[in-house]
Amino acid sequence: MNPEKLREKEMKVAYVLNMPNAANYKVGEMILPQLEEDRHGVEVVGIFFFDDNCLMLQKGNPKGERLAKIAAEKNILLMMCDQCAIQRGVATGEAGNAKVAGVVDNVHVGCFPDLYTALSGNMPDQVISL
């Protein structure tokens, strides 16, 4: 599809980061710079972090700080898997009732039902697993 057509349509996407290094490399080195330069080509409505990908969102992580800033500007939901975040020390509590801890601003924690609820007002056209 022609990139100009994508911009006209304003396709909405959500990313699910479930592969190792997806946050650091695919988001941090590719998607984040495109978002910052307003050349990603689609509207990103959410990014869901699994496993070690949650660690990118630790307070003080330069890529996480940049992502939090652009997410606030562009209304992008940042959410970590609650169990993954608890295991890695970036959330406290227990699955189903976790709270973020030591992460950049505007990060949420939860499970798929929480993700669906959070995105319900701004549904993506596509969900992309990275």
pTM as predicted? 0.92
Rounded Cα distance between 38 and 116, Å, is: 26
Question: Residue ranges of the chain with pLDDT lower than 70?
Answer: 1-9
Q: Are strands 77-81 and 107-110 parallel, antiparallel or unpaired?
A: parallel
pLDDT in tens, 18-37: 999 999 999 999 999 999 99
- Positive or negative, the CA dihedral 53, 54, 60, 64 is positive
